[in-house]
């Protein structure tokens, strides 16, 4: 059984509206372009495909895409946009669920590797990616760098967004690498709605070790989809591991 939070129907129905900034062309297009280049002429598998934010436009670029998604309500939202024949999705845990075929590309975007909240499950995600990759195929992960440098002694929370309609902050347990994203969102009637998302934060070097355990080697690490170099000041990374 997965340790990940399970998105319910209510969360799935408002997911796209609350993530509008991630659908903006300046955010989404570079990701789709980069993934399309990595896939080449081969098919792609998206772990935690959600409502199809990346998978659908990648499919529109001519890349055959298959998805794995834990939340059936999220898949229901995806089905409002595209049918099963065009973009097949299997409901299941990305750490263990398998689908037929070999893929040129397996990818996991927007911090979703943290959704599984144990090191063992994160290792299993890499192993599952390797199982699905053909020789020379690539596994791509987009994830934030833990914001621990912003924590002064004694402070446990780091703000992620402060606005009139939404306030978000993350709290960290440094001993267990567990974190919680807290979100306070103003509804149309003025009421505040609280939501929380639990995740396990992980360092790039730890991900590289997980990749090696799965038989994958680091090919490149970027600060973003636009190809900017990863540095000690980068707030996230896009990492690509290759199967020999």
Q: Are residues 74 and 134 in the same domain?
A: yes
Q: Are residues 175 and 138 in the same domain?
A: no
Q: Are residues 23 and 73 in the same domain?
A: yes
Q: Are residues 96 and 57 in the same domain?
A: yes
Least confident of 47-56, 104-113, 184-193, 234-243: 184-193
CATH of the domain at 88: 3.40.50.150
Range of the domain at 38: 9-145+203-243
Does residue 82 belong to any structural domain of this protein?
Answer: yes
Q: Are residues 106 and 193 in the same domain?
A: no
Tens of pLDDT along 32-88? 999 999 999 999 999 999 999 999 999 999 999 999 999 999 999 999 999 999 999
Q: Are residues 108 and 63 in the same domain?
A: yes
CB atoms within 10 A of CB 170: 21
Contacts of 79 (CB under 8 A, 6+ apart): none
- Segment 202-207 long-range contacts (CB within 8 Å, at least 24 positions apart): 202/113, 202/114, 202/122, 202/143, 202/146, 202/177, 203/145, 203/146, 204/145, 204/230, 204/237, 204/239, 206/119, 207/113, 207/122, 207/126, 207/141, 207/143, 207/239
pLDDT band for position 113 (cuts 50, 70, 90): very high
Q: Between these two residues, 70 and 154, which has the higher pLDDT value?
A: 70
Does residue 4 belong to any structural domain of this protein?
Answer: no
Does residue 225 belong to any structural domain of this protein?
Answer: yes
pLDDT at 166: 87
Q: Are residues 119 and 21 in the same domain?
A: yes
pLDDT at 51: 95
Share of the chain above pLDDT 70, in %: 98
Tens of pLDDT along 186-227? 888 888 889 888 999 999 999 999 999 999 999 999 999 999
Q: Domain tally for the chain?
A: 2
Helices and strands counted in the chain (H then E): 7, 11
């Amino acid at each position: 059984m997965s340790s990940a939070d399970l998105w319910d129907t209510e969360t799935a129905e408002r997911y796209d509206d609350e993530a509008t900034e991630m659908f903006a062309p300046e955010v989404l297009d570079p990701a789709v372009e980069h993934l399309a280049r990595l896939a080449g002429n081969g098919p792609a598998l998206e772990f935690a495909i959600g409502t199809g934010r990346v998978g659908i436009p990648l499919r529109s670029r001519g890349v055959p895409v298959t998805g794995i998604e834990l939340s059936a309500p999220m898949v229901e939202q995806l089905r409002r946009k595209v049918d099963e024949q065009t973009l097949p999705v299997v409901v299941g845990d990305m750490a263990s669920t398998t689908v037929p075929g070999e893929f040129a590309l397996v990818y996991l975007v927007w911090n979703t590797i943290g959704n599984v909240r144990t090191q063992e499950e994160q290792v299993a995600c890499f192993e599952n990616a390797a199982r699905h990759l053909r020789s020379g195929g690539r596994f791509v992960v987009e994830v934030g760098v833990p914001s621990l440098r912003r924590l002064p002694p004694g402070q446990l929370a780091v703000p992620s967004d402060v606005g009139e309609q939404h306030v978000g902050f993350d709290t960290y347990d440094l001993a267990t690498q567990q974190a919680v994203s807290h979100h306070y969102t103003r509804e149309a009637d003025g009421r505040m709605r609280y939501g929380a998302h639990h995740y396990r934060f992980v360092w790039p070097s730890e991900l590289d070790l997980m990749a090696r355990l799965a038989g994958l080697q680091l090919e490149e690490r970027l600060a973003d989809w636009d190809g900017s170099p990863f540095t000690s000041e980068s707030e996230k990374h896009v990492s690509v591991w290759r199967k020999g």
